[in-house]
Amino acid sequence: MHREPIAGLPNWRHLAVDRVDSTNSEALRLAVAGEPDGLWITARSQSAGRGRRGRIWASEPGNLHASLLLVDPAPAPALANLPLVAALAAWRALRQILERVPAALSIKWPNDILVDGAKISGVLLESTAVPGGRMAVVIGWGINCAHHPETAMYPATNLAACGFSVTPEEMFLRLAAATAASLAEWNRGAGFGETRLAWRRAAHGLGQQVELQLPEGPVAGWFEDIDPEGHLCLRQPDGVVRRIFAGDLFFRN
Ligand code: BTN
């Protein structure tokens, strides 16, 4: 399969396919087979697109489905920051398009991008061990350019519905450039302070009353902050602040 260079991003290459089960799955398979760091895979459609927490990600042509393979992107403790770096990259790429209405765009912890409260993009991170005892991380973004699924779980939208006509190819180039900038700022974890500040400025609902769906059940409280490791700090009704690494966030209002 042919890898193309990406203009302006000399460390990366791009494999564009028409249809695949999941660009994340393909990136993981290639990583195990020895693919080096820095491969982007995009697909016009996916037959088994995956979302977070085992959900299906509807993946018909017209939207962007893109995954980036990184090999040993940072020392292990800093890897927990990557969901926020990935969110910031998508937010920055979309902000260029929504520059006339920047306030509409926000990040819902950890890495959904919202336009006026409706989800336009999601990120799925996965990892695997690869030859040589190294760790591969795959970051997969789905960005709704032309359509969005109707789900009962949360409101969703797409760029066309917001009045912006953007092809998946254009969206990909913007995402790749914003990802390069966001990874450089993060600097393998050494720059997470900058990442965290930028993420907080874009955050949806800091300080608001929220409910989190965790594997063990729902917990309620106030979304107080993101801590220096990137965990969500939830102030519970008894005043105790609980640090949460992963879950689904819902706003009470
Ligand atoms: C979510 O919000 O639940 C995450 C959605 C991630 C979808 C993208 S589309 C490209 C990549 N391949 C997949 O199978 N999933 C991610």
Task: Determine the atom of ligand 1 nearest the C-alpha atom of 22.
Answer: 14
Task: Determine the atom of ligand 1 nearest the C-alpha atom of 119.
Answer: 2
The alpha carbon of 172 and the centre of ligand 1 are apart by a number of angstroms equal to: 14
pTM: 0.96
- Which residue owns the Cα nearest ligand 1 atom 2? 122
Long-range contacts of residues 91-100, Cβ cutoff 8 Å, at least 24 apart = 91/202, 92/178, 92/181, 92/182, 93/143, 93/171, 93/174, 93/175, 93/177, 93/178, 93/179, 94/120, 94/121, 94/143, 94/159, 96/174, 96/178, 97/159, 97/164, 97/166, 97/171, 97/174, 98/162, 98/164
pLDDT at position 7 is 95
- The answer to whether residues 28 and 68 touch, using CB atoms and an 8 Å cutoff, is no
**pLDDT by 10s per residue, the chain, length 253:** 799 999 999 999 999 999 999 999 999 999 999 999 999 999 999 999 999 989 999 999 999 999 999 999 999 999 999 999 999 999 999 999 999 888 899 999 999 999 999 999 999 999 999 989 999 999 999 999 999 998 778 899 999 999 999 999 999 999 999 999 999 999 999 999 999 999 999 999 999 999 999 989 999 999 999 998 889 999 999 999 999 998 899 997 6
Q: Give the number of C-alpha atoms closer than 13 A to the C-alpha of residue 31, restricted to the C-beta side.
A: 29
- Which residue owns the Cα nearest ligand 1 atom 15? 50
Angle (CA) 75-78-82 rounded to 5° is 120
pLDDT at position 253 is 65
What whole-number distance in Å separates Cα of residue 22 and Cα of residue 189? 28
- For residue 230 the two structure tokens come to 């990137």
Ligand 1 within 6 A of 108 CB? no
What whole-number distance in Å separates Cα of residue 68 and Cα of residue 137? 8
- For residue 107 the two structure tokens come to 């990040």
Ligand 1 within 6 A of 55 CB? yes
pLDDT at position 188 is 97
pLDDT at position 103 is 86
- The answer to whether residues 177 and 93 touch, using CB atoms and an 8 Å cutoff, is yes
Q: What is the dihedral of CA 221, 227, 231, 237, to 10 degrees?
A: -10
